[in-house]
């Protein structure tokens, strides 16, 4: 199916009598590469860059300098171009990918402007605004690619390869992790994703793709000057991507095709309408963009996609990953919490709480509202840093480790409000759990070398879905699940991750009575298999019937610990819940 993209290579043949349209075709292919770099960055990783043209410029100037000034082969220029784009991305990325939301796009604007000014003013190196002329054409097995017709084969071929590679990436664990990261960094981190590193890698990939486009651009025109690498150009690419639909590969390609054609048309039309020459196409650009954003906020492609047949992927049949199943003597201490303390400003939310979690038990952490249960939970899971105290998992100290490190050691958590990724399928959501049990990196994913591992990961996820009884919904989008099913999916994701210690944050909230009973029996059978469960909840009926032991908190302190029956009789607990007079 996806190999149909190779049909694009027929376009130069069809357009061969029209040299002007061949040029336009080349420009489309180059723009498409740049918007694909934005697909990686924005569509997958949820970051935005106004500096894609600057990355292009790196590729273009590097090859221009090497081929003109040093007389080297364009292929060396390609290497240098990619390297420079990579270095720039590394520099920008290292400074900015850890920042939230708007800082990255704004700072890329600033970088873009600064680099453009440098390119225009370092006359000795770049030739200033007049630029560098007479780049040699690219030779390919003795054929000189010096016409638009021949060049179009090169650009389109590389474009199709890029498209296929990015499809591979999207279907891989990396693609899933990037999408998860975009939606919810905390949930992604709780499954072993290191947000800063993964974002930086996406930024690098995006920079290199744009650098490649810049290299091709330079050898197509055989001339470079700063204009095509300006902020306006970067904005144009972003407009293409967003207007087409930045969330999908066909979307950004559609945007590139649409705007390449539109720009050409507006350039002819507007001077006629206005009776003057000038760069008026920007007006049309801006207004059409505004219109698309208001009428189709997700871009044009989702409107088209609705009418296309959707493809069924089928249920995975491969051998699941061999996860270590929980073993070890029942009753051994797996998680040890000692003197945990955390204050927010003047409020002491958790004041020196200690308890042990033993293998195969269900321990409930309860207490009235504001007792510090959730804070304790987040301290254990690594989402908050404790002021004092220690947490040990399987005897290893994990205090203050980030969630993605803790998860790798065998602890998994769910969230008070299910943190799922609604635009992914149920199966993909569960497969996110396998992230830290699989290895394939960006390069393997792009080249499609991780398929076997990927199939096994999906099979693992499917097995976990079966375990909780969601297998019939595996291929549905997660947005279609009821609250109860979402809770089950979160458990499936934990099971797929190979975690042995399960931290559940109010897992029964929003469930109906029947669902609660089923949920409780699922947890009990998991505990029998050797999983260890720490559960925070308000629901006394559920807790008292389910938990082996209960820890009760009030005002940040542990006030009681023991079997449910004992705790229920404890006067301190009764006072905390019912406000009875304290019995001395």
CA distance 180 to 403: 15
- Is the Cβ of residue 22 or residue 53 nearer to other proteins in the bound state? 53
CB of 267 to other proteins, least distance (A): 12
How far are the Cα atoms of 13, 46, 154, 161, 456 from residue 9, in angstroms, in the given order?
Answer: 8, 31, 9, 11, 34
The long-range contacts involving 555-562, CB below 8 angstroms and separated by at least 24 positions, are 555/351, 555/370, 555/371, 555/372, 556/348, 556/349, 556/350, 556/351, 556/353, 556/371, 556/372, 556/375, 557/351, 557/352, 557/353, 557/372, 558/353, 558/354, 558/355, 559/367, 561/355
Query: Which pair of tokens denotes residue 573?
Result: 């607990």
- Is the Cβ of residue 53 or residue 357 nearer to other proteins in the bound state? 53
- Is the Cβ of residue 200 or residue 365 nearer to other proteins in the bound state? 200
CA distance 233 to 122: 20
CB of 26 to other proteins, least distance (A): 24
CB of 48 to other proteins, least distance (A): 5
Query: Which pair of tokens denotes residue 190?
Result: 């709780």
- Is the Cβ of residue 143 or residue 290 nearer to other proteins in the bound state? 290
Which residues of the shown chain bind other proteins in the complex (CB under 8 A)? 42, 48, 50, 95-96, 98-103, 105-107, 109-111, 113-115, 117-118, 121, 185-186, 189, 195-196, 232, 235, 238-239, 242, 274, 276, 278-283, 285-287, 289-290, 293-294, 297, 383, 402-404
CA distance 505 to 23: 59
CB of 231 to other proteins, least distance (A): 9
Enclosing H/E stretch for 562:
strand 557-562
Neighbour tally for 222: CB within 10 Å: 17
- Is the Cβ of residue 26 or residue 225 nearer to other proteins in the bound state? 225
DSSP per-residue codes, 21-56: HHHHHHHHHHHHHHHHHHIIIIIIT----S-HHHHH
CB of 52 to other proteins, least distance (A): 13
CB of 358 to other proteins, least distance (A): 29
CB of 352 to other proteins, least distance (A): 24
- Is the Cβ of residue 189 or residue 535 nearer to other proteins in the bound state? 189
CB of 25 to other proteins, least distance (A): 25
Query: Which pair of tokens denotes residue 227?
Result: 């204009």
- Is the Cβ of residue 195 or residue 372 nearer to other proteins in the bound state? 195
- Is the Cβ of residue 241 or residue 478 nearer to other proteins in the bound state? 241
């Amino acid at each position: 199916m996806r190999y149909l993209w190779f049909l694009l290579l027929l376009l130069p043949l069809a357009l061969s009598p029209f040299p002007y349209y061949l040029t336009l075709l080349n420009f489309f292919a180059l723009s498409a590469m740049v918007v694909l770099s934005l697909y990686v960055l924005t569509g997958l990783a949820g970051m935005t860059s106004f500096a894609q043209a600057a990355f292009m410029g790196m590729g273009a100037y590097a090859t221009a300098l090497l081929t003109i000034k040093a007389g080297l082969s364009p292929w060396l220029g390609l290497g240098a171009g990619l390297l420079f784009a990579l270095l720039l991305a590394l520099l920008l990325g290292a400074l900015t990918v850890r920042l939230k939301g708007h800082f990255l796009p704004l700072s890329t604007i600033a970088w873009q402007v600064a680099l453009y000014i440098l390119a225009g003013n370092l006359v000795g190196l770049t030739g200033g605004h007049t630029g560098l002329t007479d780049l040699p054409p690219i030779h390919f097995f003795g054929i000189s690619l010096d016409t638009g017709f021949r060049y179009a084969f090169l650009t389109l071929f590389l474009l199709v390869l890029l498209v296929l590679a990015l499809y591979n990436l999207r279907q891989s664990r990396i693609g899933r992790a990037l999408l998860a990261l975009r939606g919810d960094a905390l949930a992604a981190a709780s499954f072993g994703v290191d947000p800063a590193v993964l974002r930086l890698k996406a930024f690098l990939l995006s920079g290199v793709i744009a650098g490649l486009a810049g290299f091709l651009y330079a050898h197509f025109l055989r001339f470079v000057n700063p204009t095509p690498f300006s902020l306006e150009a970067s904005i144009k690419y972003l407009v293409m991507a967003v207007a087409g639909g930045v969330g999908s590969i066909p979307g950004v390609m559609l945007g590139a095709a649409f705007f390449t054609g539109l720009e050409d048309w507006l350039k002819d039309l507007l001077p006629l309408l206005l009776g003057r020459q000038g760069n008026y196409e920007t007006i049309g650009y801006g207004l059409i963009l505004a219109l698309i954003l208001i009428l189709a906020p997700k871009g044009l492609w989702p409107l088209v996609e609705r009418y296309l047949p959707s493809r069924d992927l089928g249920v995975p049949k491969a051998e699941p990953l061999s996860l270590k199943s929980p073993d070890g003597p029942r009753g051994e201490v797996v998680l040890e919490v000692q003197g945990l303390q955390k204050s927010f400003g003047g409020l002491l939310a958790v004041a020196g709480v200690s308890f042990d979690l033993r293998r195969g038990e269900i321990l409930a952490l309860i207490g009235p509202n504001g007792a510090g249960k959730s804070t304790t939970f987040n301290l254990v899971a690594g989402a908050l840093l404790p002021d004092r105290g220690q947490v040990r998992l399987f005897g290893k100290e994990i205090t203050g480790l980030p969630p993605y490190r803790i998860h790798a050691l065998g602890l998994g958590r769910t969230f008070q409000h299910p943190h799922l990724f609604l635009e992914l399928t149920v199966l993909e959501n569960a497969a996110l759990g396998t992230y830290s049990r699989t290895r394939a990196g960006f390069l393997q994913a792009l080249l499609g070398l991780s398929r076997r591992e990927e199939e096994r990961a999906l099979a693992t996820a499917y097995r976990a879905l079966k375990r909780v009884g969601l297998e019939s919904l595996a291929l549905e989008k997660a947005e279609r699940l009821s609250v109860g099913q979402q809770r089950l999916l979160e458990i499936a994701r934990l099971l797929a991750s190979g975690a042995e210690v399960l931290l559940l944050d109010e897992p029964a909230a929003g469930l109906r009575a029947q669902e609660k009973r089923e949920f409780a029996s699922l947890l009990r059978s998991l505990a029998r298999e050797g999983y260890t469960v720490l559960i925070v909840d308000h629901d006394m009926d559920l807790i008292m019937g389910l938990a082996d032991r209960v820890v009760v908190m009030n005002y940040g302190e542990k006030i009681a610990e023991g079997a449910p029956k004992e705790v229920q009789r404890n006067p301190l607990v009764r006072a905390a819940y019912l406000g009875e007079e304290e019995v001395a």
